[in-house]
Structure 1
């Protein structure tokens, strides 16, 4: 297949639309089910690059949950403990494969943002992963292959209209990439810089101890940032991106956004949230929205107007700010990556509130000394990678 006609571009009024190879060769993908759209393919191709590179760097199956050309969550195939499994709504499933664990982590990072995501898998989609995908609201999936049983499960989703894309894992793009803006062609060399532990050698803080688990998390953060719309910051813990701040003009706003998402991820694992008793007929998305409201500051309004009766079997106690802060203060060992240098120490101040202990950033700011000093105040270990990772 040399080209694929699409229904429309980013918006219904943008026609005609297609994807094709400029050299006339065949596309490296096959659509096995559904009819993916323009944005679906943007998410699929960006996400495939991410999980392919992460699999190579980590040596573990990788998955990403993509929305509007940035990841909402990323994970590698490490097992989930019982608390995290409950928070990700998978504790009722039988033992998950490593690839399924990777997607459970990716989907569980920010479940509200992942609603209607495009799923990107580094490995052949197995039955375990397909069963997990079946129960979530998503637009489609891209993977290098599908087990027959997995494909049967996915083909039944959305009455056979679920988007399933198979990509050639051996496909290598041209070293130069091009795009047009306002009829003008931009050309640049692809960002082929490999991200590995060599980037973490230049530790500039008094604390120079970065354990292997944190090194893996920092690599996950940097590879995630490589395919996230800039400016961007990524919090990672235990093989899972738990907070991604993307596309902000101010770096501290990226850090606040990512930090708030990381806080929500951790608050969902608190006893107050895990013990919530939902009505039997509630849908998964409504349950996620209810938890977000319960964690938020406007829950008193929900209690006051009686809406809780349509969500919970039992009226839950208010999760006070003091209780939330006490729980968040127990979160430690978080890793943080930034796609460009931190211009001020305020980013580190905010990161500390979300349990950050390890930092990787390019360095190169005129205020590097201030940022290092702020890290030293909190006992953080920070590496200067010397590598900017802007993505637009």
Structure 2
């Protein structure tokens, strides 16, 4: 490998791994690519739709199956609405969930890369792509990215990972069964098909997200991922904060900010995120006023439009990789338009959590399946 976790650490691949078509990966590139590919493949297998994941530091910034590219995403990423339902739509939706975090990501696609998707990927800042094949011309387009250093991994879609996983930690060798639990079988019969799809996308995402984790899903897209927190309620709040910004970016106050000639797409996105989330420093607010004008700046401290717009966010599915220990998780979830909670259940307070869900009009689904990932 180019290096291990850090440039001062040497590293090598002992055995196995995807084929490298281009570039020289580091250890983090490998970990991101392998986990991202597994997530995308599972989401596709469980839903029957092309899937994509956007990975950073061994957790997804976004994940989605193919679906509608809404007007905001179409304008942001300069893709036609006619691409809805395609492999490209899966990645656009995954990247658009948290574009601040997806900057410089590892991309995973569940199906062979077509030329349209390859050409789009050549226009965004990403570090690597892993996929089960490439249609004619697609690998050539991507091989020229980053001055010819763009990482391309190709998986073998017929390969089956070993049944056991092993790792060495400070001289201690650890081994366990690979997590192959059937996500679909853990869900009860009778779920609305759209909710079932969202639950499966959320569960596949949680399975490959650093625990503790909570995933908020809307229309087959993970719009808020709270990863790697030491307590469950912080996961809910973090996932909710990300989903909130995703939704506020669709309000005209954010989406229609004046376009600044010469401003790069990511810079515009970062300003929109700061504006939507009300998270500017004093210096940033001064720069924002200079760039976008006093009228836009006057709306920055006005919470009225944010509060009113958040009332329109509904039908969100929350998936938790572990049981919800207290009712405050439900109370926070209700603030972000959650209508269905999917969790393992089985804690001493699950009855209290279920009662809170009923109080807020939220369907409470217990799977009995924990999905921790480290």
TM-score band by shorter chain is over 0.9
Query: Quick one: which of 97, 104, 113 aligns to 1:116?
Result: 104
Question: The residue matched to 1:139 in structure 2 has which SS?
Answer: strand
Query: Quick one: which of 232, 236, 244 aligns to 1:251?
Result: 232
**Is the CA contact (8 Å cut-off) linking 2:18 and 2:154 kept in structure 1?**
yes
1:18 corresponds to? 12
Question: The residue matched to 2:24 in structure 1 has which SS?
Answer: coil
Summarize the Cα distance change of 1:340–1:152 in structure 2 as closer, same or farther, 3 Å threshold.
same
**Is the CA contact (8 Å cut-off) linking 1:345 and 1:370 kept in structure 2?**
yes
Residue 336 of structure 1 deviates from its aligned partner by 0.5
Structure 1: segments with no counterpart, 5+ residues: 1-5, 22-26, 203-208
Summarize the Cα distance change of 1:254–1:40 in structure 2 as closer, same or farther, 3 Å threshold.
same
Question: The residue matched to 1:218 in structure 2 has which SS?
Answer: helix
Query: Quick one: which of 340, 351, 363 aligns to 1:381?
Result: 363
What CA distance in whole angstroms lies between the structure 2 residues aligned with 1:325 and 1:159?
45
Question: The residue matched to 1:32 in structure 2 has which SS?
Answer: strand
Residue 83 of structure 1 deviates from its aligned partner by 3.9
Residue 129 of structure 1 deviates from its aligned partner by 1.0
Pair 1:220-2:184 in alignment: no
Pair 1:328-2:310 in alignment: yes
What CA distance in whole angstroms lies between the structure 2 residues aligned with 1:83 and 1:284?
13
Query: Quick one: which of 248, 269, 288 aligns to 1:288?
Result: 269
Pair 1:90-2:78 in alignment: yes
2:4 corresponds to? 9
Query: Quick one: which of 26, 32, 45 aligns to 1:37?
Result: 26
**Is the CA contact (8 Å cut-off) linking 2:70 and 2:81 kept in structure 1?**
no
**Is the CA contact (8 Å cut-off) linking 1:225 and 1:234 kept in structure 2?**
yes
What CA distance in whole angstroms lies between the structure 2 residues aligned with 1:373 and 1:93?
41
Query: Quick one: which of 256, 263, 270 aligns to 1:275?
Result: 256
Summarize the Cα distance change of 1:11–1:83 in structure 2 as closer, same or farther, 3 Å threshold.
closer
Question: The residue matched to 1:19 in structure 2 has which SS?
Answer: coil
1:297 corresponds to? 278
Summarize the Cα distance change of 1:332–1:180 in structure 2 as closer, same or farther, 3 Å threshold.
same
Root mean square deviation, CA, Å? 1.8
Residue 93 of structure 1 deviates from its aligned partner by 7.8
Question: The residue matched to 1:31 in structure 2 has which SS?
Answer: strand
Residue 151 of structure 1 deviates from its aligned partner by 1.4
What CA distance in whole angstroms lies between the structure 2 residues aligned with 1:93 and 1:153?
23
What CA distance in whole angstroms lies between the structure 2 residues aligned with 1:375 and 1:89?
37
What CA distance in whole angstroms lies between the structure 1 residues aligned with 2:84 and 2:365?
35
Pair 1:312-2:265 in alignment: no
**Is the CA contact (8 Å cut-off) linking 1:234 and 1:245 kept in structure 2?**
yes
What CA distance in whole angstroms lies between the structure 2 residues aligned with 1:304 and 1:97?
38
TM-score by length of 1: 0.91
Deviation readout 1:249-274 (Å, 9 max, x if unpaired): 01000000000000011001111111
Question: The residue matched to 1:375 in structure 2 has which SS?
Answer: helix
TM-score by length of 2: 0.95
What CA distance in whole angstroms lies between the structure 2 residues aligned with 1:95 and 1:387?
35
> What count of residue pairs does the alignment treat as equivalent?
372
Question: The residue matched to 1:42 in structure 2 has which SS?
Answer: helix
What CA distance in whole angstroms lies between the structure 1 residues aligned with 2:245 and 2:363?
24
Residue 34 of structure 1 deviates from its aligned partner by 1.2
Query: Quick one: which of 341, 348, 360 aligns to 2:342?
Result: 360
Residue 283 of structure 1 deviates from its aligned partner by 1.1
Structure 2: segments with no counterpart, 5+ residues: none
**Is the CA contact (8 Å cut-off) linking 1:340 and 1:362 kept in structure 2?**
yes
Deviation readout 1:333-362 (Å, 9 max, x if unpaired): 000000010000100100110000011100
Pair 1:156-2:108 in alignment: no
Deviation readout 1:283-320 (Å, 9 max, x if unpaired): 122112111211133448357634433x4378514142
Residue 85 of structure 1 deviates from its aligned partner by 2.6
Residue 160 of structure 1 deviates from its aligned partner by 0.9
2:177 corresponds to? 189
